[in-house]
Amino acid sequence: MKRISYSNSGVSINKGNLFVSQIKKLISNDKKLKKSKIGGFSGQFTLSEKIKKPILVGATDGVGTKIEIANMMNKHDTIGIDLVAMCVNDLIVDKAKPLFFLDYISTGKLNMSKGKQIIKGIIKGCVQADCALLGGETAEHPGVFPRDKYDLAGFCVGVKEGDLNKKIKLMQGDLIVGLKSSGLHSNGYSLVRKIIQNKNIRLNTKIERNMTLGKLLLKPTKIYVKPILELYSKNVIKTCSHITGGGLTENLPRSLSKGVSAKIDLDKFDIPTIFTWIKSFGVTQTEMLKTFNCGYGMVVILKKKRLNEFDRLIKKHNIKYSILGNLENSKKDKKKVTYIGKLNFNA
């Protein structure tokens, strides 16, 4: 009678241990991840005593079906950057400096080469966000996941000083400024994949100069940690909004206080080629604005008189921006976004 073991059930403990040892080696080789300290069962992080009235802030997220594009391209070295970005970009909206990050990888069968690429991306993302990689979990789920498929989740903790009850004062005339994205970031990929499938489009199709569709779709999510935290620290901006799934329509209202609404001029948008390509398949303007970032991955709100200082600081971080609109008083106390003009997908 054949013996039953965990290994012939599809889970390799030895391979998992080897993968963990490789991860530790990758982290120790990166001099910028000095704060990372992975333990046997949990990671540890020492909170600085210099932080007065510390408030811990947490965020968790994934990268959605962008993973399927990575699988189709057989390129997995940037998806980890996306994972870190989706978490840290949420944290900084609340003025929190990312402290440490943990990842979760689930797969049908652990592929060491693929796993190593993913972790390299996560490390790169943590370096860009100036946070420690404190640990994670890699789980084999045979019979649940196909052998060559995987999914990712991330969790990040940050810290800020101050008072939980402190409110921001947004006023009519405050400017709404969009910080340029690097592309789709990590949202709207189910719609894009539907277009690819229905129209039988190949990922090696040239879309922009020498850039193929596949390369454009795999551009990693921009990490805005350093510029946003500097803008906050110098009181240049009042608040900001991370533009993810739901687009500007759903995300901007989350950063508005009662009594104001946002008026956005769509004529001011600088539309990247990838969004023009998506729109060409009959996706409506309303759907575009409610699904994609349409070129702006982070939106900040500031007083008009701080614009020159904002311009100087944001250029230092090599980030392009557009003034998209302004705040208006809202009598109904209903936080909303109103659009004027029309997105120019032919520019």
- Over 80: is that where the pLDDT of 283 sits? yes
Strands (E), the chain: 54-61, 97-107, 132-140, 150-161, 175-180, 206-208, 211-212, 239-242, 260-265, 296-302, 321-329, 337-340
Domain boundary residue among 161, 187, 211?
A: 161
Burial classification of residue 303, based on how many CB atoms lie within 10 Å of its CB (0-12 exposed, 13-18 middle, 19 or more buried):
middle
Please state, in angstroms and rounded to a whole number, the distance separating the CA atoms of residues 294 and 312: 24
Place of tokens 């687009």: 247
Give residue 25's pLDDT. Answer: 65
Judge whether 169 lies within some domain.
Answer: no
Together in a domain, 212 and 71 = no
| 249 shares a domain with 156 | no
Environment class of 332 (CB within 10 Å of its CB; exposed 0-12, middle 13-18, buried 19+): exposed
Q: For residues 343 and 293, is the Cβ–Cβ distance under 8 A? A: no
Q: How many helices (H) and strands (E) does the chain have?
A: 11, 12
Per-residue confidence at 142, pLDDT binned at 50, 70, 90?
Answer: confident
Is residue 346 one of the residues assigned to a domain?
A: no
Classify residue 170: in a domain, yes or no: no
To the nearest 10°, report the CA torsion of 166, 170, 176, 180.
Answer: 0
More confident residue, 249 or 47: 249
Domain hosting 196: range is 175-340
CB 57 within 8 A of CB 94: yes
CATH number of domain containing 115:
3.30.1330.10
- The sign of the dihedral angle between the CA atoms of 24, 26, 28, 32 is negative
309, two tokens: 């200082």
Report residue 282's pLDDT band, with 50, 70 and 90 as the boundaries: very high
> What pLDDT is recorded for position 6?
47
Specify the pTM: 0.91
pLDDT digits (tens, 9 = 90+) for 64-99: 999 999 999 999 999 999 999 999 999 999 999 999
* 340 phi and psi angles, rounded to 5 deg: -125, 160
Pairwise CA distance, residues 291 & 274, whole Å: 14
Count the domains in the chain: 2
**CA 300 from centroid of its chain's CA atoms:** 16
- Are the beta carbons of 163 and 53 closer than 8 angstroms? yes
Residue 345 lies in a domain: no
Query: Domain boundary residue among 161, 195, 215?
Result: 161
* pLDDT confidence band for 162 (50 / 70 / 90): confident
Q: Residues 151, 216: one domain?
A: no
Looking at residue 100, what is its pLDDT?
95
Residue 1 pLDDT exceeds 60: no
146 and 231 together in one domain: no
